[in-house]
Structures are given as C-alpha cells and as structure tokens.
Amino acid sequence: CFWLLGYGFAYGDDVGGFIGNTAFANDAIYNGAGGGYGGAEGGYSSDGWESWFFQWAFTGACATIVAGSVCERTKLEAYFVYSFVLTTFIYPIVVHWGWGTGFLSAWGAYPDDDGVPRPLFKQNVESNGMIDFAGSGIVHMVGGFSGLMGAIVVGPRKDRFEPHYKLYEGNHHLQALGVFILWFGWYGFNCGSTLAISGGVANVAGKVAMTTTISAATGCITATVLARIVEGKYDITIGLNGILAGLVSITANTSVVDPWHALLIGMAGAVVFYGGHFLLIAIKVDDPCDACVVHGFCGCWGLWATGIFCTDSNVAYAGYPNGGLNDACKRGEQFGVQVVGSLAIIAWTCVTAGLLFITIHLTIGMRVSEEVEEAGLDVSEHGLSKPNMIEIGGGYPPVEKAEPMPGAMPQPAEMMYAQPMPQQPPPATYTYPNQGPGIYTSQPAPGIPSYYNNAPPGYAPATQYPAPTNGVPQQPGLYSSQPGMYGTQPMPGYGQPQSQFVQS
C-alpha cells in the first residue's frame, strides 16, 4: 500500500501544501533500465530506489508503534485494517507536510520562482520550516497518538484497573534485548537521515551519533533514578523505556543541537515519559507498553525541544535550506513553528485515527472475547499451545503452574518444573534455624536439634521426596508436594516422602 499510494501522497507534486498527487506506484522514480521519469532533467542524481526503501522503513516503524498500545485484547483483523489505512493515508499525509513540499516543510514549502523555500511564518529566507530531522513528530507522534486512540476505543484489558488485578511484567531478558536492538537500529534512522555521506555530510552523521547516544543514556539513567525515588526500586522496565524516551526526544533535533543540549533533552524526555506513565493510569487508559507515552508524548517534547535548543549555526551546519540567512532560532520563531507543527500532527492523527478505530469497532469489531483474552491471543490467533503449560524434557509430563502455598520458598514462575532444582540443598544438608530456610530431617547433624515431625518456630511442615532409588539419571534434590514448585506427586523412581520443614 505504501508503494502503490502512500509514497505518492507523501512525495508527489504538492496540492495546496496538503497532499501529493503524483508518483503513485513509484512511476516518478527515474529508472535507468527504462520507464519512469526524472533523471537528470528531473533533478534526480540517482535512480531513487533508495529513497523509497528508506521511507518505507520509517512507515513500518510508525505502524508497529500502535501495536504496543492495543496489544493483548485486539483482533488480528483489526491490526490488518489499521495498518493498511495508517501506512496508505494517515502517515503519508504528515510526511508530505514535513518532509515533502507541504506547508510545514523546511525543504520546499511555498517556493519562490527560483524554487527557494519560503516557509512558516514569514515565508522568506529569514524563516525555516518545521525541523524534524528523523521523525520525532512525523513518525513517532503519528504512531503514538494513533495508539492512544486505539487504546481508548478498544478499552482496557479485563480487570486491568480493578484492585485484584495482577500485572504481568513480561520477560525482562527479552525486553532488554528488544530495546538494545532498537537502540542499535536508531543509528540507521538518525545517522541515515543525512541522506548522504559525501561532501562533509559524514561529519553531520558523526555528530548525530553522539547526540543520539547521550540522550538515550541520559534517559535511561534519569528514568531509573526516578523509579528508585518514587517507587523505592530500580525498575528495569522503566529504565528500558527511559532509553526509548531519550531516543524519541532527540530524533527531531539531533543534528541542530549541541551535545550538552542532548543531555538535557534526554533527561527531560525521561521525566515526560515517567509522568505520562502515571497519567494514563490515573485516567484509566490501558497502554501495556506505554507506547503512546514514549512515542507520542516524548515525540511532542522532541519537536518543542528543537525550538528551545536549536542554534542558527547548527541549522546551517546540518544543511537546512536558507542556512546562514535565517535566524529563526535566535529570534524564537523556530519554537513557534515547532509548536504549530506538533498541534497540527496531534489534531490530524487523533481525528483520522479515532475515526478509523471507531469504524473498525462498529464493523468487524476491535476486541476479542473475554474467553479468548483469558486464554491468550497466541492460542486463538496463532494456534500455539496453552501458555500456562510448560513442556519438560527427559520424558517428564508438563506441570501446570500454581500459586505457591503459604510458607513455600519462592520460585521463578518460569522454573516450576517436575524435576530437581539444583540450587536446593540435598536432604543430607543441615542448617541452623537462624540461617534462613533449611532442611530439618530425622537425622540431624551433631549438635543440631532434631526437628523430626516437630517444626521449629517459624517453620511449617511440607513433604519432600528423597533421591531416586532405581537409578534414574537425576541429580538428587527436593521434590515437594507444594503446587507451584514440583508438582503433587513424586517422580517415577523416587522414594516415599519424609518430613522436611520450610520457612512459613
């Protein structure tokens, strides 16, 4: 859809500063093998394939942001529909405004007879259009505010804001891996947005890499410290989203600010994210990944920060039109342009995306049933096995997860298997009660009181199974009858239970 229509709406010939009306199916790209138009007479220095591919990657990034806001309860068909409309129409229009020749563009808005851009506000060489170097507003705000509208229409997950709701925090290892992949890929988006590498542009790309790194790192540190101050813990998910908040915040201005500006921008971006996180909870909008906060709110801050921290010399260094002639940053005009641009993006996105999600809701439906949501969409949409059943190797059957009994030693949710836990002490180990949970059998070590059938103070009896008696190749360990640990039956080949005591 972006190839057929979206790219033309974004980069086709301008109609009223609003939309492009040529280049559909990329027929405007000069093809050295024949076909298309442009070439030297059209002002193209290459065939132009790379431009389409780069912009297509941005389009995909924008569409995937929405998924984080509406996940865990939205029909797959609804994903298909909104992705089609977003990438075909909603997003390309904003691209035309800011990166094409639309009314916000620094690159071609209101050109004079010689083709020199004369953008907002004064429409002369003293002014500049909206500066959004790599998409804080054009990409991230469109995706983030679309996600916000989707989350409002689809509603919160079942019982999300009820007092008894237990929030699943996800897999922190995969979260960290995903964020670091995004951070690495961000250099492709930000540094690659120079769109060239020769003629001194490589120097700009190097600067962009530095400011991007500083803002991301500062965002991580600031968000982590905020979580420690407010919540009393170092929350890894908050820290990881702090990285993304710093990246989104610097994306618009990465080429037009100094490195110390990047530090302040990333720090403020983390504050915007952290405040937005609790704002959504307060107004009961369920965004499982905080996608609309990280991308929408921080994207808006990124546009505003451009007007606050940009310098005219940096704008000229980054290669923007009228460089050296305009002084919009110095006069404060640039901040006004950035605010106008952000408000235009919010209004367009919220109206069009809101109508889109309402239409989906009234036709094919946005939301799965409660039964499907409870079982998990991996089961209903993708045919995967029930997620709360864990497959165990070595011929042992799966064990269903259960809440541990009061007094049971805590175990990670993903480690509730019917097999030995290596970190548990063997039955022959004896410890003093004041050393924490221990094993108290009918044969205490010398000098240790016997607790056989009589739990010491603060301990409750449980059942263990001793090591195998038939040569089953398993490391000796404990096989408790407590649900949530090792199942309710001894493993094949293991002896009858004897008493142990665990801390209650």
pLDDT tens per residue across span 140-186:
999 999 999 999 999 999 989 988 887 777 889 999 999 999 999 99
Question: For residue 484, what pLDDT band results from cuts at 50, 70 and 90?
Answer: very low
- Provide the percentage of residues in the chain whose pLDDT is more than 70: 73
Label residue 453 exposed, middle or buried (CB < 10 Å: 0-12, 13-18, 19+): exposed
Q: Which residue has the higher pLDDT, 249 or 468?
A: 249
CA–CA distances in Å: residue 444 to residues 269, 282, 381, 430, 438: 59, 55, 55, 7, 12
pLDDT, one tens digit per residue, over 410-464 is 444 333 333 333 444 444 343 434 333 444 443 444 444 444 344 445 554 444 4
What pLDDT shows up at residue 30? 61
Those residues with Cβ within 8 angstroms of residue 485's Cβ, 6 or more apart along the chain or in another chain: 404, 408, 409, 411, 416
Determine the pLDDT at residue 503. 45
Q: What is the pLDDT of residue 23?
A: 84
Q: Name, of 13-27, 81-95, 125-139, the range with top average pLDDT.
A: 81-95
Give the pLDDT confidence of 113-145 residue by residue, as tens digits.
Answer: 777 777 888 888 888 899 999 999 999 999 999
- Average pLDDT score over residue span 271-293: 96
> What is the structure's pLDDT at 492?
52
Q: How much is the average pLDDT of 397-418?
A: 43
Quick count: other Cβ atoms within 10 Å of Cβ 449? 10
- Asked whether the beta carbons of 355 and 146 are under 8 A apart, the reply is no
For the chain, how far is it from start to end, CA to CA, in angstroms? 61
Write out the E strands in 211-303. Answer: none
Percent of the chain with pLDDT over 90: 55
121: amino acid identity, one letter: F
Average pLDDT (468-493) is: 43
Average pLDDT, the chain: 79
Tell me which DSSP letter residue 22 carries. S
The average pLDDT across 246-261 equals 97
| pLDDT tens-digit series, residues 288-302 | 999 999 999 999 999
pTM of the predicted model as reported, rounded to 2 decimal places: 0.76
How far apart, in whole angstroms, are the C-alpha atoms of residue 373 and residue 46? Answer: 50
CA distances to 174, 283, 427, 450 from 431, rounded to whole Å, are: 37, 51, 11, 11
Judge whether residue 63 has pLDDT over 70. yes
